[in-house]
Structure 1
Amino acid sequence: MTPNHHPDASTLLAFSAGALPEAFAAVVAAHLDVCDECRGQLALADRIGGHLLVQQDGAPLADDARERLRARVLAEGAPLPRPPAPPASPATAADDALPRTLQPYFGRRYADLRWRMIGPGIHYVRADRVDDGHLMLLRTAPGRSVPMHTHGGSELTLILRGAYRDAIGHFAPGDVADLDSDVEHQPVTVPGVPCICVAATDAPLRFSGWMARMLQPLFKL
Structure 2
Amino acid sequence: MNPHHHLDPSTMVSYAAGALAVEVAIVAATHLETCAHCRARLQEAERIGGQLIEHQQPASAVMAEGQRAALRDAMLRHLDDVPPATPSPPVRVAPYEADDRLPAPLHPYFGTSYRALKWRWMAPGVHCIRAPGTGTGTLLMLKIGPGRSMPVHSHGGTELTQILRGAYHDALGHFAPGDVADLDSEVEHQPVTVPGTACICVSALDAPLRFPGWLARRLQPLFKL
Common fold: TM-score over 0.5: yes
Ranges in structure 1 where 5+ consecutive residues have no aligned partner: none
Question: One-letter code of the match for 1:169?
Answer: G
1:88 to 93, 98, 105: 93
The question of whether the paired residues in 2 share the 8 Å contact of 1:124 and 1:138 is answered with: yes
Partner SS, residue 100 of structure 2:
coil
Q: Which residue of 1 aligns with 2:40?
A: 40
Provide the rounded CA distance (Å) in 1 between the counterparts of 2:198 and 2:162.
14
Is the 1:117–1:124 contact (alpha carbons within 8 Å) kept by the matching residues of 2? yes
Q: Does the 8 A contact of 1:105 with 1:129 survive in 2?
A: no
Among candidates 173, 198, 204, match of residue 194 of structure 1: 198
Cα distance per residue 1:43-99 (max 9 Å; x no partner) = 0001111111111241566452211110111111333x644432514x6x9632111
Matched, 1:50 2:54: no
Runs of 4+ in 1 over 3 A off after TM superposition: 59-63, 81-84
- C-alpha spacing 1:167/1:88, structure 2 compared with 1 (3 Å): same
1:18 match: secondary structure: coil
Counterpart residue number, 1:164:
168
* Cα distance between partner residues in 1 of 2:80 and 2:57: 25
Look up the SS of the partner of 1:159 in the other structure: strand
Q: Counterparts of 2:12 and 2:199 in 1: how far apart (Å)?
A: 25
> CA shift at 1:28, angstroms?
0.6
C-alpha distance in 2 between matches for 1:57 and 1:148: 46
Q: Matched residues in 2 for 1:57 and 1:146: separation?
A: 48
Residue-by-residue CA offset, 1:135-181 (whole Å, 9 max, x unaligned): 00011100001111111111111111110010111111111111112
- The answer on whether the counterparts of 2:34 and 2:92 sit within 8 Å (CA) in structure 1 is no
Distance 1:167 1:16 in 2: 29
CA distance in 2, matches of 1:197, 1:76: 31
| 2:38 partner letter | C
1:11-38 CA deviation, whole Å, 9 max, x = no partner? 0000000111110011110101111110
Are 2:74 and 1:74 aligned? no
Q: How many percent of aligned residue pairs carry the same amino acid?
A: 54
Provide the alpha-carbon RMSD of the alignment.
Answer: 1.8
Residue aligning to 2:18: 18
| Residues 1:87 and 1:187: Cα distance change in structure 2 (over 3 Å) | closer
Gap change, CA 1:74 and 1:126, over 3 Å in 2: same
TM-score by length of 1: 0.92
Structure 2 residue runs of 5 or longer lacking an equivalent are none
For residue 141 of structure 2, the aligned residue among 134, 137, 157 is 137
* Counterpart amino acid of residue 177 in structure 1: A
- State the 1:130 CA deviation: 0.3
SS of the residue aligned with 2:162? strand
- Matched length: 218
Maintained 8 Å contact 1:4/1:175: yes
- TM-score scaled to structure 2, two decimals? 0.91
Q: How many Å separate the matches in 2 of 1:187 and 1:150?
A: 11
